[in-house]
Structure 1
Amino acid sequence: MSLSVTPVLSSSLSSADLFPRAQNITWISSNFKTVLTWGPKPTADYSYTVEFQQVGKDHRRNPHCIRSSQTECDLTNTMSDLRACYTADVISEPPMGVPKEPQEYPHSSSPRFCPYTDTVLLSPTFKLEVNPDGRTVTVHVTDPLTAAFQDGRQLSIRDVFGEELEYKVIYKKNKSTGKKTAKSNSNAVEVTRLDRGESYCFQVQAVVRSRPTSTQEGELSQTQCTHQQNPSLLDNYSVGVIAGAILLPLLLVGGLIAVVVICCRRRSKKQRNEKEKEAEALNV
């Protein structure tokens, strides 16, 4: 009689060790709307929880990002101090409804994120005002709103950056490749010394010089162009050219009249001489 024994394999691995760690943790932020993203998409066997902290303070959890099947977490409303820096951990743990074991679960940490210096500045909107002289255009820029609030009021980028904010205007003649720039700390940027009658195209971007070089300049706005105007004679020609164009025909006409007068006088004199000769011949 033989006895069959089925071996039981023991393992020190717990279910937590089977959960994959989050990868490619990235901050995506524009005008202070900030979302943490990562991968991969979890299976039904596990979920993700996000813990974040303002550097130097305790960890906190966003109630919308606890044991979630999503791969992103909107942390905009939890970053009230825009000048502070933040980090986050994405923890892989059992899905909602499954008991957790009393142990540490796999987690991955994000890079440091500082909203004031790292958020992308979105493109502003603007209007063009052409001066009657046709040589000056004023670009009126509207401060973009942010996702940040203070005392119930939505803040603009001007509210956040104050005097550090300036606007750069990039402009060129329509259908030309040569570009020029004008800058101002105000919302009205004057572009001067333009050619009368020409159509010019403009783009605007926000600039904050106190930020790192890589994030100083915001996104470029859409292009707007002025209408081409019919230039006056003074725009196309100098006063000397215009005066010459007026005087030349007058001189030609005057010269022609002088020639006619001279010819008439010579003819009249010739006829008079001939008559005198005929009279002398008759008297002989």
Structure 2
Amino acid sequence: MDCRAFVKFAVFLSSVLFTFEASGEDYLPKANNIQWVSHNFKTYLTWSPKPINYTYTVEYSEVGQNSQRNPYCTRSSATECDLTNELRHLQKTYSVQILSEPLPGVTSDLVEFPFSQVERFCPYKDTQIGGPDFKIVQKGNNTKMTLHIQDPLTPLYKDGRLLTIRDIFKSNLKYKVIYSKAGSTGRREKISNQRDIELTGLDDGESYCCMVAAYIPSRSIKLGQWSYLQCSPRKRNSVFDEFHMGLIAAASGVTLAVLIIFIALTVVCYKCCCRKKDRLLENNSPPLSCDSPPLFV
């Protein structure tokens, strides 16, 4: 072993020895910057820093109950932990802590490993509800339209099928709609406990734009995320819709008058032709044919 390699090995060995002689908090840093991330009941924790020569273990429990460990988040070098399947009692409040522990197979004289206590979490009250998908349907009368809303899915299963947020919130789930005429700043709102929401009193033929969000009055954060904006198609009006019936009647009258004048002029021309024929006959001139009236002058 050359001198340089020996020096590096000596420094590494001394740092390891110093680490194990130091207090627990000195060589096993606590997790910090801890955040709950929960969307439609898909729930996990994130934190920092990335561990070097130590691991993290996540313990959870219903408040007042014994702690349990997620096997996928025990002695792990990851800085996140999926707790979706552990927090199955959705209306319960959970207590969670993140322990800093030695690497697997490494012993320690510490009686208790350092840990960070996580803010308590209740899936039913705290998960964020995503914006729902919906479809706009207009039939017949264009002064109203119907929104068909699809309840967002969760990652939770029951009886072999995925649960929706309506399966969980039941009658507590409502939907809030905001809508306005395209290009207008005037906004209207409607709240309904149904998935099919009818909007009435619309201007015929106009396009209306809508957004929808879940609305759960029993929660502290009542409103979920807004959906994408969708607009109804603008009705293409026929000529009868574009022009007032009075204008159409006036145009029809003018057309009829022009037709009458044309017929009258044709008759006058015919009579003039016949009179000219008679004068030529009187002067022994070659006759003109008046068998049929002229169509134009």
TM range (shorter): 0.7 to 0.9
Residue 61 of structure 1 aligns to which amino acid in structure 2?
R
Q: Judge conservation of contact 2:24–2:113 (CA < 8 Å) in 1.
A: no
Residue 219 of structure 2 aligns with which residue? 211
Whether 1:242 and 2:250 are equivalent positions in the alignment is no
Residues 168, 50 of structure 1: alpha-carbon distance in 2 compared, 3 angstrom cutoff? same
1-structure distance, mates of 2:252, 2:120 = 79
Give CA-to-partner distance per residue, 1:185-232, whole Å, 9 cap, x none. 1110001111111111121111111101xx211111112211111235
1:90 to 98, 103, 114: 98
1:27 to 26, 29, 36: 36
Give CA-to-partner distance per residue, 1:126-153, whole Å, 9 cap, x none. 1111121111110000111112222333
When the two structures are aligned, how many residues end up with a matched partner? 240
Stretches of structure 2 that go unaligned for 5 or more consecutive residues are: 1-17, 261-297
Residues 233, 168 of structure 1: alpha-carbon distance in 2 compared, 3 angstrom cutoff? farther
Give the fraction of aligned pairs with identical amino acids, expressed as a percent. 44
Tell me the secondary structure at the aligned position of residue 85 of structure 2: helix
Residues 151, 230 of structure 1: alpha-carbon distance in 2 compared, 3 angstrom cutoff? closer
Whether 1:114 and 2:122 are equivalent positions in the alignment is yes
Residue 181 of structure 1 aligns with which residue? 189
CA offset at residue 125 of structure 1? 0.7
2-structure distance, mates of 1:32, 1:244 = 61
CA offset at residue 123 of structure 1? 1.0
Q: Judge conservation of contact 2:29–2:114 (CA < 8 Å) in 1.
A: yes
CA offset at residue 176 of structure 1? 2.4
Residue 48 of structure 2 aligns with which residue? 39
Tell me the secondary structure at the aligned position of residue 77 of structure 1: coil
CA offset at residue 235 of structure 1? 5.7
Whether 1:197 and 2:205 are equivalent positions in the alignment is yes
1-structure distance, mates of 2:237, 2:247 = 20
CA offset at residue 114 of structure 1? 0.7
2-structure distance, mates of 1:195, 1:233 = 18
Whether 1:59 and 2:62 are equivalent positions in the alignment is no
Residue 147 of structure 1 aligns with which residue? 155
1:115-130 alignment runs, 5 A limit: 115-130=123-138
2:83 to 57, 71, 75: 75
Residues 15, 186 of structure 1: alpha-carbon distance in 2 compared, 3 angstrom cutoff? closer
Stretches of structure 1 that go unaligned for 5 or more consecutive residues are: 1-8, 258-284
Provide the TM-score with structure 1 as the length reference: 0.77
Whether 1:101 and 2:138 are equivalent positions in the alignment is no
Residues 248, 124 of structure 1: alpha-carbon distance in 2 compared, 3 angstrom cutoff? closer
Residue 6 of structure 1 aligns with which residue? none
Give CA-to-partner distance per residue, 1:40-67, whole Å, 9 cap, x none. 1111x21111111111211000000011
1-structure distance, mates of 2:115, 2:24 = 14
Tell me the secondary structure at the aligned position of residue 76 of structure 1: coil
Residue 59 of structure 1 aligns to which amino acid in structure 2?
S
Q: Judge conservation of contact 2:35–2:46 (CA < 8 Å) in 1.
A: yes
- What is the root-mean-square deviation of aligned Cα atoms in Å? 2.6
Provide the TM-score with structure 2 as the length reference: 0.74
Residue 10 of structure 2 aligns with which residue? none
Tell me the secondary structure at the aligned position of residue 162 of structure 2: strand
Q: Judge conservation of contact 1:182–1:190 (CA < 8 Å) in 2.
A: no
Residue 228 of structure 1 aligns with which residue? 234
Tell me the secondary structure at the aligned position of residue 116 of structure 1: helix
Q: Judge conservation of contact 2:32–2:49 (CA < 8 Å) in 1.
A: yes
Residue 126 of structure 1 aligns to which amino acid in structure 2?
F
Residues 134, 93 of structure 1: alpha-carbon distance in 2 compared, 3 angstrom cutoff? same
